[in-house]
Amino acid sequence: MTDPDGLEKAFPQSRQVGGNHYKNFHIQPYEFISKNNLSFFQGCVVKYVCRYLNKNKVQDLEKIIHYCELEILKLRDKKK
């Protein structure tokens, strides 16, 4: 697909590479993650929660659990 006006380069947030599972949201997950200064693991949870119904369903829910477990491990390691 061509972009004769160069808008995709000027506004990369207006396009999505590899699907359209985030296009229906009022705010993109990356924007929410960035504005709220979320950690990597927290950001992954937000991303997969937003997309699981429109992409990989059970696999994305399993990824959410995995990233929650990693966040728990990180918090427990900080207590030591």
H helix or E strand, kind and range, residue 15: none
- pLDDT of 30: 87
Tokens representing 19? 């699907």
Residue with tokens 């491990």: 73
Q: Which residues of the chain have pLDDT under 70?
A: 1-23
First to last CA, the chain: 53
3-class secondary structure, 78: helix
**Contact assessment for residue 48 and residue 70, using Cβ atoms and an 8 Å cutoff:** no
**Single pTM value for the model:** 0.69
> For the chain, what's the residue count?
80
